[in-house]
Homo-oligomer: A and B are copies of this chain.
Amino acid sequence: MRFHGYFRSSSSYRCRIACNLKGVEYDFVSVHLTRDGGEQKGAGYKALNPQGLVPAFELDGGEVLTQSPAILEWLDETCPEPKLLPDDPVERAHVRAFCAVIACEIHPLQNLRVLQYLRGEYGQDQEGVEAWCQRWIGDGLAACEALLAKRPAQKFCFGDTPGMADVYLVPQVFSAARFKVDLGGMPNLRRIAEACNDLPAFAEAHPSQQPDAE
């Protein structure tokens, strides 16, 4: 399997963590999102993934999987150990809701092309871009914190072993730091992100540890 990704992409980072947790091996292919106007927009990559986004998983049979939420569900269905989702349908829904807050409420708003639009069309400088990111990342992570605060505290988001929610949380906390989001009021998220980063599966997935890191 070939994993087409980029060290700083949150959704690549999610997939790296999940592969590490499950012991899934792959050949990494770097797609540089900002060099030469973005390699993801080149004809070569777009033949693989017409949407021009990373990550893409190119399976040995030639099938190409895109969109990290779909890739992560596929990984959990085809490489079941350790399970990233619980068995109980209502618990699965709670975990997936936590993931969706990050995947559907936060991450799309801090995407490179959206920030480029804010700069180009609305004349926003770095400070303006950070204010935008702080608003959406801050609101979204506060919602995640509220979801966890309603439950008995556990070592990870939804249990004593890391799962799908942790896979989404850690890259988002990393992005929050990049955009100077204040996580002061989110003790559960900070504690859990720290516990995750103590594990090799998470530490080795960190952007700074990737072959294409700058």
**Within 8 Å of chain B (Cβ to Cβ): is A66?**
yes
With contacts A50-B143, A50-B146, A89-B78 taken as known, whether A96 is within 8 angstroms of B109 at the C-beta atoms is no
Q: Is the CB of B103 within 8 A of A104?
A: yes
Within 8 A of B (CB), among A22-42: none
Give the contacts of A50-89 with B (CB-CB under 8 A): 50-51, 53, 59, 63, 65-71, 73-74, 77-78, 89
In the complex, A114→B100 CA distance in Å? 17
Q: Among residues 101 to 117 in chain A, which have CB atoms less than 8 Å away from a CB atom of chain B?
A: 101, 103-105, 107-109, 114, 117
User: Is the pair A51, B108 in contact by a Cβ cutoff of 8 Å?
Assistant: no
Tell me the smallest distance from the CB of A111 to a CB of chain B, in Å: 8
Contacts of A101 in B (CB 8 A): 51, 67
Prevailing SS type, chain A contact patch:
helix
Residues of B within 8 Å of A132, CB to CB, are 117, 121
Given contacts A69-B69, A103-B103, A104-B107, 13 further A-B contacts (CB under 8 A): A50-B146, A51-B146, A59-B90, A65-B97, A67-B100, A67-B104, A69-B100, A70-B92, A70-B100, A71-B97, A73-B92, A74-B96, A108-B108
Query: What residues of chain A have their CB less than 8 Å away from a CB belonging to chain B?
Result: 50-51, 53, 59, 63, 65-71, 73-74, 77-78, 89-90, 92-97, 99-101, 103-105, 107-109, 114, 117, 121-122, 124, 131-132, 135-136, 143, 146-147, 150
List the 3 shortest-distance A-B pairs measured between CB atoms, nearest first.
A70-B96, A67-B100, A67-B97
